[in-house]
């Protein structure tokens, strides 16, 4: 019985000294982990760890959402995690002609279901190239207007997606110099964007104070707890996306694009009408994207805009643009297009004059009108695929 005495005797109570030593050791270990985390910066690597395209269905567009419980989606800044969640992360099929679509919220597809976006409708056309490959479009649009944001996405996607063609849609709003570094998505990817600014000698300032550059404390586990939580939430919301196919909130009612406009001729930092030059707008970011694409063909598309017939429509086309600014921008775009070194460009600004084509923005389209745009862009894709063969 002596052998089993320890089973019947009460355990020795812990002393305050023992508890203090445990707490101190745990605190030291936690502090050490925080220091290692800050020095190593594993967040980009952690972004590559994803259940999408294996356990979860890959998303049809980049994660973006302001009301995650309703949209099963969220906005985050971890670019690797965002791209890993897309179906584009999978290897292309042998018979696939892979097309990447870049652009703003109109390409992402505000108020449209994934299959009804520009990418979804191009895929619905079941296009085939001259050599028999199936055209498959992937949505890399993101709901902010900045060519620098698009350039950052293109730069990263080219390393992951292996496209055969890039279609870059834009409108004047994305060319505003003061808007290039305005998206929080850009500001929170400072190192990537600053490298692009320096590599392509862009007019944006790599030292701009809007860039978010965490100090040592902000780079620790504690300082990055929100970013870490977002990585986990992206996976968790992926379960509901996989089950429902819902990736944004669809309100029953929304504010329609304005028809009656203010008699205001200012546009961003330009207070009065003037004639733009290429240096006045962010054409350098667009040219950098074409250079970054290298031998991969690029198609530029000036996307359709709402043209109001309401009050002060003689001053402004819509809530975005005074007529002088948009007309001058198109003149510069046409001059660039005439250059032999410039990629082929489609100016589709007035392709969809029907006022009912536009929903809550001068560039957001209804399902039916998105289909018309998809047909036009699809034709251009086939033309370029034939010339590139």
Give the up-direction half-sphere exposure of residue 237: CA atoms within 13 A in the CB hemisphere. 25
| Token pair listed for 384 | 């370029």
Residue 38 is predicted with a pLDDT of 65
Closest by Cα among 163, 108, 166 to 139: 108
- What tens digit of pLDDT does each residue of 131-157 get? 999 999 999 999 999 999 999 999 999
| CA–CA dist 307, 313 (Å, integer) | 8
| Token pair listed for 63 | 């994660």
- Long-range CB contact pairs, 40-43, < 8 A, 24+: 41/219, 43/78, 43/224, 43/227, 43/228, 43/231
| CA–CA dist 298, 165 (Å, integer) | 6
Residue with tokens 């890959």: 58
Regions of the chain with pLDDT less than 50: 1, 6
CATH number (3.30.420.40, 3.40.50.1110, 2.40.320.10, 1.20.58.1610) of 30-388 reads: 3.40.50.1110
Residue 28 is predicted with a pLDDT of 73
Residue 24 is predicted with a pLDDT of 72
| Token pair listed for 373 | 């745009």
Residue 132 φ/ψ region, left for φ over 0, alpha for ψ in the -120 to 50 degree band, beta for the rest = left
Residue 204 φ/ψ region, left for φ over 0, alpha for ψ in the -120 to 50 degree band, beta for the rest = beta
Residue 139 is predicted with a pLDDT of 98
- What tens digit of pLDDT does each residue of 318-356 get? 999 999 999 999 999 999 998 878 999 999 999 999 999
Length of the chain: 389
Beta bridge partners of 168: 102, 300
Domain ranges within the chain, ordered by starting residue: 30-388
Residue 299 is predicted with a pLDDT of 98
Please, what sign has the CA dihedral across residues 78, 80, 82, 85? negative
Measured CA distances, 84 to 112, 149, 154, 273, 315 (Å) = 22, 18, 14, 44, 45
pTM of the model: 0.91
């Amino acid at each position: 019985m002596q052998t089993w005495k320890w089973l019947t005797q009460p355990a020795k109570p812990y002393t305050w000294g023992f508890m203090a030593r445990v707490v101190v050791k745990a605190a030291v270990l936690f502090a050490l982990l925080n220091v290692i985390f800050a020095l190593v910066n594993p967040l980009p690597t952690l972004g590559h760890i994803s259940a999408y395209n294996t356990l979860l269905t890959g998303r049809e567009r980049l994660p973006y959402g302001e009301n995650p419980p309703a949209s099963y989606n969220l906005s985050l800044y971890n670019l690797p995690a965002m791209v890993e969640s897309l179906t584009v992360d999978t290897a292309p099929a042998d018979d696939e002609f892979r097309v990447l679509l870049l652009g703003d919220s109109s390409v992402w597809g505000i108020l449209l279901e994934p299959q009804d976006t520009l990418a979804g409708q191009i895929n619905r056309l079941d296009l085939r190239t001259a050599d028999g490959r199936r055209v498959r479009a992937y949505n890399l649009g993101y709901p902010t207007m900045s060519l620098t944001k698009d350039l950052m996405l293109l730069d990263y996607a080219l390393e992951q997606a292996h496209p055969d063609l890039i279609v870059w849609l834009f409108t004047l709003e994305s060319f505003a110099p003061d808007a290039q570094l305005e998206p929080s998505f850009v500001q929170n990817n400072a190192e990537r964007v600053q490298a692009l600014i320096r590599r392509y000698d862009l007019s944006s300032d790599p030292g701009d104070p809007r860039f978010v550059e965490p100090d040592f404390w902000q780079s620790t586990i504690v300082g990055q707890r929100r970013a870490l939580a977002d990585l986990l939430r992206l996976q968790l919301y992926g379960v509901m996306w996989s089950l429902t196919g819902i990736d944004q909130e669809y309100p029953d009612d929304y504010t329609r694009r304005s028809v009656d406009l203010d008699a205001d001729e200012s546009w961003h930092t330009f207070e009065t009408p003037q004639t733009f030059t290429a240096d006045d707008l962010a054409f350098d970011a667009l040219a950098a994207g074409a250079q970054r694409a290298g031998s991969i063909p690029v198609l530029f598309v000036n996307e359709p805009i709402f043209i109001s017939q309401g009050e002060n429509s003689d001053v402004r086309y819509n809530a975005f643009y005074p007529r002088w600014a948009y007309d001058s921008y198109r003149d510069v775009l046409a001059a660039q297009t005439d250059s032999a070194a410039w990629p082929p460009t489609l100016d589709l600004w007035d392709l969809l004059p029907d006022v009912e084509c536009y929903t809550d923005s001068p560039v957001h389209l209804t399902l039916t009108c998105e289909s018309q745009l998809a047909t036009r862009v699809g034709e251009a894709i086939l033309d370029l695929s034939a010339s590139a063969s």
